[in-house]
Structure 1
Amino acid sequence: MTTIRDVAREASVSVATVSRVINSNGYVNEDTRKKVGAAIDRLKYKPNSVARSLYKKESKTIGIIVPDITNPYFPQLVRGVEDHLIKKGYTSILCNSDEDPEKERLYLDVMKQKYVDGAIIVSNTIDERLLQEYDMPVVALDRSIHKDIPTFAIDNRDGGRAATKHLQDIGCQRIAHIKGPEQIKNAEERYTGYLDVVKNQSWFRDSYVVPGDYDQKKSARATMELLEAHPEIDGIFAGNDVMALGVLKAAESLNINVPEELAIIGFDGIDLTEMTTPELSTISQPIYQMSVEAAETLVALIEGKTNAQSGHVFPSTLIQRQSTNSVKENVT
């Protein structure tokens, strides 16, 4: 393996001069800089990233913490972050937290030890006071951590209203909701949006709301119990697309036709919603745009630029597909 000493010998300069060129630290005249650069190219020298991070207290690495990498939404979210970071010369470390505060602290400890330059965090359990201990730029994605941390997310309550109103507009008379975990803020906001539309309806029952915990199997079981107890339900708003997949599976198991007997809409806009039969309607988030803008802001903060965004609330978009693609006759 080529070392920095090999480069120094090749360029007929000192090791210190090669180090100054590599780290852009200290004066080196232009002719010498070119000579060292040519030697590095000829020898295909790769600087020791660990040594550089120890020396400069930076690593050109970003930490990304997400709750559940098995949920298809989060890989799509991470993709935009990674695409932007790689263009800017940064690599990333992906951490799966399971919404466990102890795992989040462990990952932050590792990031600090490795001189990670900043972090993009998707979390509902992390404490802003904990982040202050680590002294690095942080951007929140998908859900807010603290008002002083730049956040890139959508208006979840508005999206919940739009999903429920859509079911109402196509003629659904009894609309249920498969709810995400209570401790997750965006799940509560989507539920609140649902209530905004239905809470004053004479037909509304608290029992029309059941937990699905952002999990496909749990939501399938919850939906089967819901529809067996309330066969009058003709529309379901699932709080995310993964749960909407569970609702679709439950309907199939109960021999309920979608959308003729039951209309279904999810939330997020993941790619899988286009691959089901029938295809699922959804409230789509601008997933890639959100993640790219979050990455742009983090890089700007790391580099000390004054034009870093303070965050952004994005609009969501109703995408109507086959699962809500029939207008039902009004029933009294």
Structure 2
Amino acid sequence: MTTIKDVAKLAEVSVATVSRVLNKNGYVHSETEKRVAYAIKQLNYKPNDVARSLFKGRSKMIALLVPDIMNPFFPELARAVEDMTKQHNFTFVLCNTDDDIDKEMAYLDALKQKSVDGIIIVSSTISADNISGMGTPIVALDRILSSSLSSVTVNNYVGAKEAVQHLKAIGCKRIAHISGPENVSNAKQRLKGYLEEVQDEEWFLPSYIEQGEYHFEDAKEATKKLLTTHRDIDGLFVANDLMGVGALKAAESLGIKVPEELSIIAFDGISLGETTSPALTTMAQPIYQAGAKAAEIIIEQIENQHSFVTNEEFSVKLVERQSTKFGRSSL
């Protein structure tokens, strides 16, 4: 294996000079720099990243923690983070946590040991106390973890209200909700938006709400329960698209026609919703832009070594497809 000493010997300079060229630290004469660059190329020398990180105090590595890599929302989000980190010459690390606090803490400990430069976290279980001693820039994505952390989210409350308003506008009289996990900030906001629109209606009952935990199977079973208990339900707002697909399958299994008998609208705007039959009406998030913004914020904090709290909130938009009455594609 080629070492820095081999480069120094071929370039006829000291090891310290090669180090200054590699790390762009200190003055090196232009002709000397050219000799070092030539030697590096000739020997195909690859600097030791661990050694460089110890020297510079940085690893050029950014990690993203996501709760469920099987949910297509998170790979779409991860792609944006990866693209942005690559543009700035950072190595991207993706960690799937299964929303397991022990797994999350194990990842955080390992990343700290590796001197990771920054961490972007999507989590339903991590609290401010869990990350208080990290000493590493952290940005919360998709949901808020703490008021002391920078975050990138969307207007979940407003988007949920608009989803229910759309169901009302197309004639739905009994509107139910498949909610996300009760401890997740975005699920709480979507539930709050739903309730704002329906809780004063004379037909509304608390049993019009079932939890789907942001999972396909849970949502499928929750929808079956709703539709068999309340046969008059003709509108359904589902808190994410993956659960929306579960709701479509539940309706199909019960012989309920979508959208003729039941209109379904979900939330996220993942590409999966375009492939279902009928295609899924949704409140679409700007997924790529949100992921890219989180990466921008973490890179700025790393590069400028500051910890200013920044909270970015994007808007969502209605994308009408075939799962709601009179739906049409607006893509």
In structure 2, give the amino acid aligned to 1:235: G
Q: Which residue of 1 aligns with 2:6?
A: 6
In structure 2, give the amino acid aligned to 1:117: D
Task: Indicate if the aligned counterparts of 1:140 and 1:150 stay in contact, CA closer than 8 A.
Answer: yes
Change in CA separation of 1:59 and 1:307 when aligned onto 2, cut-off 3 Å: closer
Q: Which residue of 1 aligns with 2:264?
A: 264
| Residue 142 (structure 2) pairs with residue 142 (structure 1) | yes
CA distance in 2, matches of 1:130, 1:32: 49
Q: Which residue of 2 aligns with 1:283?
A: 283
Q: Alignment partner of 1:76: what SS?
A: helix
CA distance in 2, matches of 1:89, 1:136: 18
Question: Larger deviation: 15-24 or 182-191?
Answer: 15-24
Change in CA separation of 1:306 and 1:58 when aligned onto 2, cut-off 3 Å: closer
Task: Indicate if the aligned counterparts of 1:156 and 1:190 stay in contact, CA closer than 8 A.
Answer: yes
In structure 2, give the amino acid aligned to 1:274: E
Q: Which residue of 2 aligns with 1:188?
A: 188
CA distance in 2, matches of 1:167, 1:183: 26
TM-score for the superposition, normalised by structure 1: 0.95
Q: Alignment partner of 1:162: what SS?
A: helix
Task: Indicate if the aligned counterparts of 1:73 and 1:268 stay in contact, CA closer than 8 A.
Answer: yes
Q: Alignment partner of 1:28: what SS?
A: coil
Q: Alignment partner of 2:62: what SS?
A: strand
Q: Which residue of 2 aligns with 1:316?
A: 316
Identity across matched positions, percent: 51
Q: How far off is 1:2 after superposition?
A: 2.2
TM-score for the superposition, normalised by structure 2: 0.95
CA distance in 1, matches of 2:197, 2:132: 40
Task: Indicate if the aligned counterparts of 2:267 and 2:283 stay in contact, CA closer than 8 A.
Answer: yes
In structure 2, give the amino acid aligned to 1:147: S
Q: Which residue of 2 aligns with 1:234?
A: 234
Task: Indicate if the aligned counterparts of 1:282 and 1:318 stay in contact, CA closer than 8 A.
Answer: yes
Per-residue CA distance 1:59-90 (angstroms, 9 max, x = gap): 10001111111111111111111100001000
Q: Which residue of 2 aligns with 1:83?
A: 83
CA distance in 1, matches of 2:63, 2:174: 44
Q: Which residue of 2 aligns with 1:25?
A: 25
In structure 2, give the amino acid aligned to 1:288: Y
Task: Indicate if the aligned counterparts of 2:80 and 2:288 stay in contact, CA closer than 8 A.
Answer: yes
Q: Alignment partner of 1:326: what SS?
A: coil
Task: Indicate if the aligned counterparts of 1:153 and 1:290 stay in contact, CA closer than 8 A.
Answer: yes
Q: Which residue of 1 aligns with 2:243?
A: 243
1:1-332 superposed matches below 5 A: 1-304=1-304, 310-326=310-326
Per-residue CA distance 1:184-207 (angstroms, 9 max, x = gap): 111111011000100011111111
Q: Which residue of 2 aligns with 1:330?
A: none
Task: Indicate if the aligned counterparts of 1:97 and 1:103 stay in contact, CA closer than 8 A.
Answer: yes
Per-residue CA distance 1:21-55 (angstroms, 9 max, x = gap): 11222332222112101211222211011221222
Q: How far off is 1:256 after superposition?
A: 1.0
Per-residue CA distance 1:99-137 (angstroms, 9 max, x = gap): 222222211111111110011111232222332311111
Q: How far off is 1:308 after superposition?
A: 7.3
Change in CA separation of 1:305 and 1:108 when aligned onto 2, cut-off 3 Å: closer
CA distance in 1, matches of 2:266, 2:286: 15
CA distance in 1, matches of 2:309, 2:211: 36
Provide the aligned length of Structure 1 versus Structure 2. Answer: 327
Task: Indicate if the aligned counterparts of 2:118 and 2:298 stay in contact, CA closer than 8 A.
Answer: yes
Q: Alignment partner of 1:303: what SS?
A: helix
Question: Larger deviation: 305-314 or 62-71?
Answer: 305-314
Change in CA separation of 1:181 and 1:306 when aligned onto 2, cut-off 3 Å: closer
> Could you list the runs of 5+ residues in structure 2 that have no partner in the other structure?
none
Q: How far off is 1:325 after superposition?
A: 3.5
CA distance in 2, matches of 1:307, 1:31: 40
CA distance in 2, matches of 1:202, 1:131: 45
Q: Could you say what the CA RMSD is over the residues aligned between the two structures, in angstroms? A: 1.6
Change in CA separation of 1:99 and 1:86 when aligned onto 2, cut-off 3 Å: same
CA distance in 1, matches of 2:152, 2:195: 25
Q: Alignment partner of 2:288: what SS?
A: helix
Per-residue CA distance 1:226-251 (angstroms, 9 max, x = gap): 11111111111111001100010011
